[in-house]
Structure 1
Amino acid sequence: MTTQQSQICQMSGSEQAHFIKKKQLSPVEVMDAVFDRIHSLNPTLNAFCVLDEENARKSAKQAEKAVMSGDELPPLHGVPIGIKDLVPTKGIRTTFGSKIYEHYIPDEDDVCVARLKDAGGIIIGKTNIPELGYQCITDNPLFGLTRNPWDLGKTPGGSSGGSAVAVATGMTSLTIGNDGGGSLRIPTSFCGLYGIKPSFGRVPLYPGCRNPKYPGASSWETLESNGPITKTVEDSALMLSIIKGPYHMDRHSLPNDGMNYMEQIKNTDLKGLKIAYSPDWGYVTVDPAVRKITEKAVKVFEQLGCEIEIAHPGFTDPLPAFGAIIARDSDLTGLRKLAEQYGEEMDPSLLAFIQKKWSAEELTDAAFVRQEVNIKMRTFMEKYDLVITPTSAVPPFEVGINGPNRINGQKVSRSHWLSFTAPFNMTGQPAANVPAGWTDDGLPVGLQIIGRHLDDSLVLRASTAFEEANPWRNHLPKLVAEVGF
C-alpha cells in the first residue's frame, strides 16, 4: 500500500468527499485504496462477507467523469460505503448471515441505501453479521466469525460487527448498521468508533421491515433503527442528514425534523446542560475497568460546563421482557418452518430462541414492562437534558461466546452485559456511543449519550463537544498501523 493510499484510508468520509469535489482526489484513487486495504486485512478480520468490487470500480470511473466534466456533485459523490448484510441491497447478494439465504439477491434497495446512492455514495459490499441479526456478537454458519482489530482473540460485538471492523481498519470510512438492542452501539464501543442509534422512526425501514417471501429476514419492527457507523461525529451527522425523513412504506417513519445536522454540530456550547450519569442503573454489575474509564469520561462534560448528577431512572431489569418483545416482533411461524427444514445448518442459539414456547402472558407482560420503562425514562428526563452511561458493562470479550457469565466476580446471565443499550430500543430515544478510553491492555470502552425523545440534534452536538475535548480518531489498532495507516 502506498503512502497516498494509506492517507486515503485514514480520511473520514467527509474528507474524502471534500477532496473529490476539489479535484484533489479521484474517486478511482479512493476505490483503489479501500479495496487494497480490504484485500490486505479482510482475510484476517472477516469484516466484509460480500464484495461488489467490479460494479464499485465502474461507478468510481463514472464518478470521476462527473467530477472532470464540472457537474454539480452530491454530498457523498464517489465515497465508498459498506452496508450491513441485514440491510437489503439491490443486485448485491444479501444473505442475512444465513445459509438459508446464501444466494438471495434483492430486487430493491432499503430506503436508506437508496438515499445514500442518490447522495453519490458507492456501495462496495456487505458487512458480516450473526445469523439473521439475533446476537450481539458477529459469527454465523455461512461466513464464520469476525475478529476485533484491537485483539484478534476478542469479538467486535454485534450485530453490526462487520461494519464497525471495516471502519476501524480503514476498509471504508462510512458504513450502515442497524440497532435493535445495541447492535450498532455495542460494536462501535468495542471498536473505538462513533455510532448513533437515531430516534425510532427517524430513518425509515423498508423493505427490511417486511419480507413475507423470506421468513425471518425482516427487522424487529417496533425496536429497530438503521444508523451510521463512522470514525467521526461529523460523518454520522452527514449520513443521518441524508437518510432521515419519512417514507410512505414505513408506517413508523417520522416527519422530517427540518434539521441539518451538519449545521447543528457547529454549536458545541453545552454550558448549563443538566446531565444524569448512571454508572449502573442501580442494579447492573459492571466491569471495574469500564466503570473507571467512563467515570473519567464523565468529567469531560463537567469541564464543558455541564451540571452532572449521579441518578437512576428507577426501572427494574427489563431484559427478560425485552426477549419477549423480540419474539413478538419476529416472524416466529416462518422461522419455525425454516428451523424444521434447515435446523442443522442454523446457529444453535438462534435455533433455541425460535423453538422456545412463548406464552400469551409473557408477550403481553413484556408490553407492560416496555410501557413502564418508557414512562419512567420520560419522567426522569423531564429533569435532565441528557443521560450518560457506559455503553457496555464489559470491554470486548473472547470470540466464541455470546457474553460473559461472570462480571467482576459475580455470576450473571449471558445477556447482562447488554443492560445499558436495550432500554432505548424499548423507548425509541436517540442514543450514541462515543469512545471513552482504552483499558490497560488496549481494548476500547464506550460511553453512551442518550437524548430526550426525538432530540437527535442534542445527542450529536454533545458527541461533537466530547470528541473535540477528548479526541479518539488517531488512536489506532496496532494491526492497522502495521499496514501503513
Structure 2
Amino acid sequence: MTKEIIFSDATKLAELIRTKEVSPVEVVHAHLDRIAAVNPKINAIVTLADGALNAAKAAEAAVLAGDELGPLHGVPFTVKDSIDTADVATQRGSPIFKGRVPDVDATSVARMKKAGGILLAKTNLPEFSYWIESDNLLSGRSNNPWDVTRTPGGSSGGESAAIAAGMSPIGLGTDLAISVRGPAAQTGITSMKATHGRVPMTGIWPRAPRRFWHVGPMARSVRDIALAFSQLVGPDGHDAFATSTVQFDAGIGRQPYRQLRVGWMVGPGFGPVDPEVAATVKAAAEALKDTGVFVEQVSIPALERDFPLDVFNRLHVMEMKPAFAEATAGHEDEMYKMAKTMLSLPDTSMKHYIDAEQAVERLRDGYADYFSRYDALITHVLPIPAHKHGVEKFTIDGQTVDATYLQGATVPLNVTGLPGLSMRFGTSKEGLPISVQVIGKWQAESTILHLASLLESISTVRNLHPNL
C-alpha cells in the first residue's frame, strides 16, 4: 500500500482519505518514510514541517467525525523555499537568510491549507530563486531522480524532484522565466504558470520584477493541477496584480461547444531545438488531431522580430539588481555565483530599456493576433532533455548557445503574462522525459487544461516513475 500511496496523485489520495480507505496519518507517514529513503540521493527536501503529523492527526479526526472536508483534505504538499510558511523556515537558498522563520503563510500556502492540504516540507532552489539549476551555499545541489548526474532544473528544481521521486504528491513553485515549467519538464511531472495575476504572489520573495513573477502548482497529473489552481486563483487584497475575479471550475473533462483550433511550432523565435524534442512536439500535435481538434503548424512573426529572451534580459536585470544589492549588503562573503553574476552585469541603457518595453507590447500584440485565430499553441518547454550538472554551453541542433537559451520557449509567457502548462509526452534515447508546453490566451487556463487532459489520456508515458 505504501507504494500506491506515494505514487498516487493528490486527487486520488483525497478520495482515499474521504472514503476512509487510508488515513491522513498513514499518508503523511508514507511520504516521510519516502523522504528518509531517497532524499539523501536527491537533496530536494531542505526542511521538514514539524507540524505535519499533528495536522494529519487532526485531519483524521475530522474524517472520523464526519466534518465537511476540503478538496485536498489530509493530502500532504510541499513548497519551494522562497514561499513563506508560518513557523517553518523559509531561507531563500542563501546563508544570508539562514534560520529565517516567517510568522504568516504566503497567500498560496494559506489557500492550500484552507483546501485541507497539510504542509509537509520545503524544497530546494537556486540562490534567490535565480537560475536554471537548483544549487546554493546553504543547502547544496539537487539531483534529478531520473539520473542523479543531471539537474532537475531551476528555480523550482527541488520541488520538481521531490514530486517526481514520490516524496510529495503536489506542491508550489514560482516562475520568473522558466521556473515551474522547465523543472517539470526535466523531471517528467506536470506544472502550470497561469495568466499573470491569477494567483497572488503575496508572501513570496523576490518580488522584482513583479510583472514577470508567477506562483503555480506542480504535480503528477493534469487533474491535480486543475484542482490546485481552482483553490489558488483569485485576488487577496494585497497583490495589486491579482485583480481578476474570473472564476475557475476544476472540472476538465467537458467537451467544448465547438471544434478547438490549435497551432504547433518549435521556431523560429525560440532558439535552436533538439530534433528529438521537436519530434515530440509534432507527435503531441498529431495526437490532438486524432481527438478531433483542428491542428496545423504555425509561426508567430512577432517572435522573429523581437527575440523574447533578449527582451527579457534587457528588462529584468535593471529591476532585479537593486533587490539583490539590498539583500546582500553587508553579506557579500555569503553570496553564491548567481547573485555575484547579477550584480556584476552592466545596467541596461535607458534607450535599450525603453526599446525593450516597446518590444514587450509588440510581442503581446503578436500573440493577440495569433489567438484571434487559434485557441491554443503547442511548443516545446526546453530545447533539450535534462542536462548534466554545471554545463554552461550547449550544442543544440548544430548551434552552440549559452545556458540562458534553455529559457527560449518559456520566457515569452513571462513577458506577455500568458498561461502555459508543461507536461511529459515523450522519452529521449537516454530514457529522460521530454515535455511539451500547452499555451493559451489570457485567462484561458480551462482550455489548456482540457487539451492537456486529452494529451495525458493518450500519452504512452503516463504513470512512469524513476527507479529509486
TM-score normalised by length of structure 1 = 0.92
Q: Distance in 2 between matches of 1:131 and 1:351?
A: 10
**3-state SS of the aligned residue for 2:403?**
coil
**Cα pair distance change 1:227/1:387, threshold 3 Å:** same
- Which string of whole-angstrom CA distances, capped at 9 and with x for unpartnered residues, describes residues 346-373 of structure 1? 2223312123231323322221121111
Change (3 A) 1:158 1:466: same
AA aligned opposite 2:192: I
| Residue 292 of structure 2 is aligned to residue 327 of structure 1 | no
Cα deviation digits, residues 282-306 of structure 1 (max 9, x gap): 5621112211222222211111112
Q: 1:408 aligns with which of 397, 416, 433?
A: 397
Instruction: State how 1:40-79 maps to structure 2 within 5 Å.
Output: 40-52=37-49, 54-79=50-75
Q: Show CA shifts across 1:97-142 (max 9, x none).
A: 0111011111111101011111111101111000011112211111
| 2:86 matches 1:90 | yes
List aligned pairs for 1:131-146, cutoff 5 A: 131-146=127-142
Amino acid at match of 2:163: V
Residue 377 of structure 1: how far off its partner (Å): 1.1
- 2:415 & 2:117 partners in 1: Cα distance? 31
Say if 2:195 is the partner of 1:195: no
AA aligned opposite 2:12: E
The equivalent of 2:353 in structure 1 is: 363
Contact 2:311 2:356 in 1 (8 A): yes
Q: State which of 357, 362, 370 in structure 2 corresponds to 1:380.
A: 370
- Superposed displacement of residue 14, structure 1: 0.7
Name 1:213's counterpart in structure 2: none
Partner of residue 21 from structure 2, selected from 19, 24, 31: 24
Q: Which residue of 2 aligns with 1:441?
A: 430
Question: What is the 5 A alignment of 1:41-440?
Answer: 41-52=38-49, 54-208=50-204, 217-218=206-207, 220-261=209-250, 263=251, 265-268=252-255, 272-282=259-269, 284-314=271-301, 315=303, 316-330=306-320, 332-358=321-347, 359-401=349-391, 403-440=392-429
Q: 1:144 to 1:221 in 2, by over 3 A?
A: same
Asked if structure 2 preserves the Cα contact closer than 8 Å seen for 1:268 and 1:464, the reply is no
Query: What secondary structure sits across from 1:176 in the alignment?
Result: strand
Cα distance in structure 2, aligned partners of 1:337 and 1:256: 34
> Which secondary structure does the structure 2 equivalent of 1:291 belong to?
helix
Contact 1:202–1:244 at 8 Å: present in 2 too?
Answer: yes
One-letter amino acid of the counterpart of residue 336, structure 1: A
**Residues matched between the structures, number:** 464
Counterpart residue identity of residue 442, structure 1: G
Shift of 1:44: 0.5
- How far off is 1:334 after superposition? 4.3
Q: Is the 8 A contact 2:263 2:378 kept in 1?
A: yes
Separation (CA, whole Å) in 2 of partners of 1:62 and 1:297: 44
Shift of 1:207: 2.5
Does the aligned pair in 2 maintain the 1:137–1:161 contact within 8 Å?
Answer: yes
Whole-angstrom CA distance in 1 between matches of 2:460 and 2:82? 31
Offset of residue 416 of structure 1 = 1.2
Per-residue deviation, residues 429-466 of structure 1 (Å, max 9, x unmatched): 11001111100110111100000111111011111111
Deviations 1:159-207 (A, max 9, x none): 1111111111111101111111110000111111111111111101112
Is structure 2 residue 36 aligned with structure 1 residue 39? Answer: yes
Contact 1:163 1:175 survives alignment (8 Å): yes
* Structure 1 residues 442 and 270: alpha-carbon distance in aligned structure 2, compared to 1, 3 A threshold: farther
Over the matched positions of the two proteins, sequence identity in percent amounts to: 32
State the shift of 1:313 in Å: 1.0
* Aligned partners of 2:281 and 2:378 also within 8 Å: no
The Cα of 1:324 is off from its aligned counterpart by 2.8
Cα deviation, residue 414, structure 1: 2.3
Equivalent AA in structure 1 for residue 312 of structure 2 = F
Compute the RMSD of aligned alpha carbons.
1.6
Task: Give 1:482's aligned residue.
Answer: none
Higher mean C-alpha deviation, range 14-23 or range 361-370: 361-370
TM-score (norm 2): 0.95
Superposition pairs for residues 462-481 of structure 1, below 5 Å?
462-470=451-459, 472-479=461-468
Q: Deviations over 1:262-320 (max 9, x none)?
A: x2x02156972211111123562111221122222221111111222211111231212
For 2:270 and 2:4, the matched residues in 1 are separated by: 45
Deviates more, 1:438-447 or 1:334-343: 334-343
